[in-house]
Structure 1
Amino acid sequence: MPLLQPLWTFLVGHSSVLQSPVFPVLFSLSAYLSCCAPFLLLDLLSSRWALVRRYKLQSQSSVSWSSAWSCLALTLYNHMVFLFPVTLMHWYLRPLHLPQEAPPLGRVLAQVLVCLLLFDFQSFAWHLLHHRVPWLYRSFHKVHHTFSSTSSLTTEHSGAWETLSLGFFAAVTPVLLGCHPLTELLFFLLNIWLSVEDHCGYDLPCSTHRLVPLGLYGGAPHHDLHHLKSNCNYAPYFTHWDHLAGTLQTQQD
Structure 2
Amino acid sequence: LSLSLSLSLRIRAQISRQRSSPEGRESFCHPTMIPYATVEEASTALGRNLTRLETVWFDYSAEKSDYYLYCHNILFLFLIFSFVPLPLVIVESARSASGWFDRYKIQPKVSYSLSDMFRCYRDVMKMFILVVGPLQLVSYPSIQMIGIRCGLPLPSLTEIVAQLLVYFLVEDYTNYWVHRLFHCKWGYEKIHHIHHEYTAPIGYAAPYAHWAEVLALGFPSLIGPAIAPGHMVTFWLWIALRQIEAIETHSGYDFPWSLTKYIPFYGGAEYHDYHHYVGGQSQSNFASVFTYCDYIYGTDKGYRFQKKLLQQIKEESKKCKKQVGGEKFD
- Normalising by the smaller structure, the TM-score range is 0.7 to 0.9
- 1:241 and 1:94, CA in 2 relative to 1: closer, same or farther beyond 3 A? closer
Deviation beyond 4 Å, 4+ runs, structure 1 = 92-97
Q: 2:294: which partner in 1?
A: 242
Q: Is the 8 A contact 1:17 1:23 kept in 2?
A: no
Greater alpha carbon shift after TM alignment, 231-240 vs 81-90: 81-90
- For residues 116 and 65 of structure 2, what CA distance do their matches in structure 1 show? 34
Q: 2:35: which partner in 1?
A: none
Offset of 1:61 from its aligned partner?
Answer: 1.2
Code of the aligned partner of 1:200 = S
- 1:168 and 1:5, CA in 2 relative to 1: closer, same or farther beyond 3 A? farther
- 1:33 and 1:6, CA in 2 relative to 1: closer, same or farther beyond 3 A? farther
Greater alpha carbon shift after TM alignment, 191-200 vs 162-171: 162-171
Q: What secondary structure sits across from 2:85 in the alignment? A: helix
Q: Aligned ranges for residues 210-221 of structure 1 at < 5 Å?
A: 210-213=261-264, 216-221=265-270
Greater alpha carbon shift after TM alignment, 47-56 vs 24-33: 47-56
**Alignment counterpart, residue 101 of structure 2, candidates 52, 62, 72:** 52
Offset of 1:18 from its aligned partner?
Answer: 7.1
RMSD: 2.5
Offset of 1:203 from its aligned partner?
Answer: 0.4
Offset of 1:169 from its aligned partner?
Answer: 2.3
Greater RCO structure (CA 8 Å; 6+ sep):
1
Q: What secondary structure sits across from 1:237 in the alignment? A: coil
Q: 1:87: which partner in 2?
A: 136
Q: Is the 8 A contact 2:170 2:223 kept in 1?
A: no
- For residues 125 and 22 of structure 1, what CA distance do their matches in structure 2 show? 29
- 1:9 and 1:220, CA in 2 relative to 1: closer, same or farther beyond 3 A? farther
Code of the aligned partner of 1:201 = G
Offset of 1:209 from its aligned partner?
Answer: 4.3
Structure 1 position 206 matched with structure 2 position 261: no
- For residues 52 and 154 of structure 1, what CA distance do their matches in structure 2 show? 20
**Alignment counterpart, residue 188 of structure 1, candidates 239, 255, 278:** 239
Q: Aligned ranges for residues 112-191 of structure 1 at < 5 Å?
A: 112-131=164-183, 133-191=184-242
- 1:35 and 1:45, CA in 2 relative to 1: closer, same or farther beyond 3 A? same
The percentage of counterpart residues that share the same residue type is: 27
Greater alpha carbon shift after TM alignment, 81-90 vs 146-155: 81-90
**Alignment counterpart, residue 61 of structure 1, candidates 110, 128, 150:** 110
Q: Is the 8 A contact 2:94 2:100 kept in 1?
A: no
TM-score computed with the length of structure 1 as normaliser: 0.88
- 1:36 and 1:246, CA in 2 relative to 1: closer, same or farther beyond 3 A? same
Code of the aligned partner of 1:56 = K
TM-score computed with the length of structure 2 as normaliser: 0.69
Instruction: List runs of 5+ in structure 2 lacking aligned partners.
Output: 1-45, 309-330
Q: 2:122: which partner in 1?
A: 73
Equivalent pairs, count: 249
Code of the aligned partner of 2:177 = A
Q: 2:86: which partner in 1?
A: 37
Code of the aligned partner of 1:176 = I
Greater alpha carbon shift after TM alignment, 182-191 vs 95-104: 95-104
Structure 1 position 10 matched with structure 2 position 56: yes
Q: Aligned ranges for residues 9-28 of structure 1 at < 5 Å?
A: 9-15=55-61, 16=64, 19-20=67-68, 22-28=71-77
Q: Is the 8 A contact 2:254 2:269 kept in 1?
A: yes
- 1:85 and 1:45, CA in 2 relative to 1: closer, same or farther beyond 3 A? same
Offset of 1:5 from its aligned partner?
Answer: 5.0
Instruction: List runs of 5+ in structure 1 lacking aligned partners.
Output: none
- For residues 191 and 58 of structure 2, what CA distance do their matches in structure 1 show? 39
- Structure number with larger C-alpha Rg: 2
Q: 2:13: which partner in 1?
A: none
